[in-house]
């Protein structure tokens, strides 16, 4: 009888241990819930939307390039000690990460801003390079798209990355961003592009208008950077602009005309199925 009681207790102890282990595993998995639900879910939805227009292979590659870009912001933000959420994807608008706390100064804002284009450009270059090893035109088209995404984001206007980067160089560059965006808006016939540009202009106006009023002491301290910080950010920024511009210029003649993502996703330049 005592042996049976001992066996039952041992049995229930094992159940308790198993449940405790399962609870620990579930709690660990919950840590990744924001990533799986917000980032993973929005990525899948964005791929689904783009697939209708671009073909699923091109859509997957395109969204992954955006993810690499956003990962650059995420890494840079955490390096600077900022609390930041996982990226959320929005079809035709790209993606965004939510900073849970504002950058303390222009230097931190610029570092977080330039992290995306740096890693994004590396990702685009890697995909572009894959074309020369495989002959698959899909990689060339994706690389070109990656160069464009990162170059467009370098336009010096908030909320684009370029607007945040030049905060550490001179916020007066925001006026140059307006000079670039306004003519594009006026000449554009694409409704989606017009909506995006109007959104960017509306978002940028408060900070542009603030340039023409006297700064408070707090604002003045926000924009203070060392000479070395300004030189470093300026060097990285203009190097990215030049490098991405050159890569787009040299890649464009290599692309089929017109580029057909549906065709690119199913065949390579030799006419064989891509693996």
pLDDT score of 259: 45
Give strand pairing partners of 88: 96
pLDDT band at 38 (very low <50, low <70, confident <90, very high): low
More confident residue, 107 or 269: 107
At 197, list the tokens.
Answer: 């540009």
pLDDT band at 23 (very low <50, low <70, confident <90, very high): very low
pLDDT band at 272 (very low <50, low <70, confident <90, very high): very low
pLDDT band at 205 (very low <50, low <70, confident <90, very high): confident
Domain ranges of the chain: 32-264
At 219, list the tokens.
Answer: 């604002």
Residue 104 has pLDDT above 90, yes or no: no
Give CA 48 to chain center in angstroms: 18
Q: Report how far residue 94's alpha carbon sits from residue 115's, in angstroms, rounded to the nearest whole number.
A: 16
More confident residue, 261 or 251: 251
Residue 170 has pLDDT above 80, yes or no: yes
pLDDT tens figures, 117-142: 999 999 999 999 999 999 999 999 99
- How much is the mean pLDDT over the chain? 81
Q: Report how far residue 76's alpha carbon sits from residue 270's, in angstroms, rounded to the nearest whole number.
A: 40
Whole-model pTM: value is 0.77
Residue 143 has pLDDT above 90, yes or no: yes
Q: Report how far residue 222's alpha carbon sits from residue 219's, in angstroms, rounded to the nearest whole number.
A: 5
Instruction: Indicate the SS3 state at residue 127.
Output: helix
Contact 155/163 with Cβ under 8 angstroms?
yes
Q: With helix as H, strand as E and coil as C, how does 33-88 read? A: HHHHHHHHHHHHHHHHHHHHHHCHHHHHHHHHHHHHHHHHHHHHHHHCCCCECCCE
Average pLDDT over residues 197-223: 85
pLDDT score of 258: 59
Average pLDDT over residues 145-157: 95
Contact 245/151 with Cβ under 8 angstroms?
yes
Tell me the backbone φ, ψ of residue 98, rounded to 5 degrees. Answer: -95, 115
């Amino acid at each position: 009888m005592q042996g049976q009681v001992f066996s039952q207790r041992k049995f229930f102890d094992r159940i308790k241990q198993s449940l405790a282990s399962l609870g620990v595993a579930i709690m660990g998995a919950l840590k990744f819930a924001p990533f799986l639900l917000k980032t993973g879910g929005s990525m899948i939805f964005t791929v689904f939307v783009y697939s209708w227009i671009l073909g699923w292979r091109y859509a997957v590659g395109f969204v992954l390039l955006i993810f690499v870009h956003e990962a650059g912001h995420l890494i840079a933000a955490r390096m600077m000690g900022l609390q930041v959420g996982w990226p959320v994807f929005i079809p035709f608008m790209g993606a965004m990460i939510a900073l849970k706390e504002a950058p303390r100064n222009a230097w931190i804002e610029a570092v977080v801003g330039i992290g995306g284009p740096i890693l994004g450009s590396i990702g685009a270059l890697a995909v572009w390079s894959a074309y020369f090893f495989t002959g698959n035109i899909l990689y060339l088209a994706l690389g070109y798209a990656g160069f464009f995404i990162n170059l467009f984001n370098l336009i010096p206007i908030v909320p684009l990355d370029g607007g945040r980067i030049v905060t550490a160089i001179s916020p007066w560059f925001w006026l140059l961003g307006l000079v670039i965006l306004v003519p594009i808006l006026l000449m554009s016939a694409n409704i989606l592009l017009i909506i995006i540009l109007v959104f960017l202009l509306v978002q940028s106006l408060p900070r542009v208008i603030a340039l023409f009023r006297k700064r408070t002491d707090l604002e003045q301290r926000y924009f203070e950077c060392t000479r070395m910080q300004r030189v470093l950010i300026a060097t990285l920024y203009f190097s990215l602009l030049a490098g991405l511009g050159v890569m787009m210029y040299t890649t464009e003649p290599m692309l089929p005309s017109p580029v057909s993502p549906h065709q690119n996703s199913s065949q390579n330049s030799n006419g064989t199925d891509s693996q």
